[in-house]
Amino acid sequence: MSDKSSNQMWGGRFAEGPDAIMEAINASIGFDQRMAAQDIAGSRAHAAMLAACGVITDSDAEAIREGLLTVLSEIDAGDFGFSTALEDIHMNVEARLAELIGEPAGRLHTGRSRNDQVATDFKLWVRAQLDAADQGLLALVRALLDQAEAGADWVMPGFTHLQVAQPVTWGHHMMAYVEMFGRDLSRMRDARVRMNESPLGAAALAGTSFPIDREMTAAALGFDRPAANSLDAVADRDFALEFLGAATMCAMHLSRLAEELVIWSSAQFRFVVLSDRFSTGSSIMPQKKNPDAAELIRAKVGRILGAQVGLTMVMKGLPLTYSKDMQEDKEQVFDAADSLMLALAAMTGMVADMTANRDSLAAAAAQGFSTATDLADWLVRRLGLPFREAHHVTGALVKLAEDHGVDLDGLTLAQMQGVHEGITDEVFTVLGVQNSVASRTSYGGTAPVRVREQISRWRGKLG
């Protein structure tokens, strides 16, 4: 077979043959250039430490520092020429540094390896995403608190199985999401604490014989301490997996809220009106206002969960320490982080802008015999019925109301007494939805007084 026909078999993009394929599969600069700032920060800390420990001269360290700042400014300005032949961000930066300062650039890599270098860069990048998610969640929780405070005593239906169950308050419903996203916030913060150990100085896998100071580089990069085992330091990607796990759960919560906004903004519910900023129109139906932002948020969990599963599969069979498989750790994390930050920002905007329709909420709360449980509770409390008997009596009253086309409070006292003679006109005090929500005063309940207590607690926590 001729070289020409052999090259054609490789396919158009790889017509140059095996060398082109190897360069394409081996290079990561197409995506890991996103870690340029982290790579340069790690190299600056490493160079300063080498000089402090007498491994390189102060003049070399100063040349490296100035050269790295120049490289960073070129990257920030979009003037840096990235090369796939140099494989990754680390080699691209180092090659440009050598062009700028010459021989001192070759001393920068003393006492480290690309293995601990990439682990450090990636940790710094993921840590920044945890911080960004923290801020995004804080903004969303505050927007939910504002909605809860505005409607702390507005009644709406509470649902199970998407069927009307019992009346609750709008504020209580908003506070349920505050609790959810509050747990997401704690997960992000907890993950940050656990991952904040520096791999730098672990070198290829066994540490180094140079007299380095890992405490110094850890402190310079904002880590709490150096990682305690050099093998684990270069092999570990738990920090990325933990971020993806927390991001997946957060995205799932965003998806649940997004689903409710899709339902609530429909013509059949009319519970909320979403602002034009987060809705779109139809190309052929002028009356339509589509909750596209909510629907796109709802879909993001698939991408983020996919990233978590993908990285888990990359890592699951790897022996210690580094294998090239681990180059596949970044693209999916980058995409997941982008998806999460965008979804958080969009949801915060929607929640802040949306208007709850108090009248529609109240009308829906009064439908579907939502105060049936209040009636059963009253029968237990006032007439001393066992709950199971009270449940049976209430069911009979619901059937009677259905037959007459009214809600429970539309029945007459005589009709109710026909089911159970002990019922008195006091029963009507528990059948209104406002009375129902006001009575739910147990801790964590929907009563407006309890909702306002929780709002105050959360505002105190957030400062």
SS (H, E, C) 121-171: HHHHHHHHHHHHHHHHHHHHHHHHHHHHHHCCCCEEEEEECCEEEEEEEHH
The one catalytic residue in 161, 209, 283, 442 is 161
Structure tokens at 362: 């109240």
Length of the chain: 463
Count of CB atoms within 10 A of residue 446's CB?
A: 26
| Of residues 163, 193, 343, 336, the one with CA closest to residue 253 | 343
Question: Helix (H, G, I), strand (E, B), or coil: what is residue 9?
Answer: helix
| Of residues 62, 67, 86, 74, the one with CA closest to residue 36 | 74
Structure tokens at 203: 């070198």
Question: Helix (H, G, I), strand (E, B), or coil: what is residue 203?
Answer: coil
The one catalytic residue in 282, 323, 404, 456 is 282
Question: Helix (H, G, I), strand (E, B), or coil: what is residue 418?
Answer: helix
State yes or no: is 282 an active-site residue: yes
State yes or no: is 113 an active-site residue: no
Q: At residue 354, what are phi and psi to the nearest 5 degrees?
A: -70, 150
| Of residues 87, 88, 114, 109, the one with CA closest to residue 98 | 109
Active site residues: 161, 282
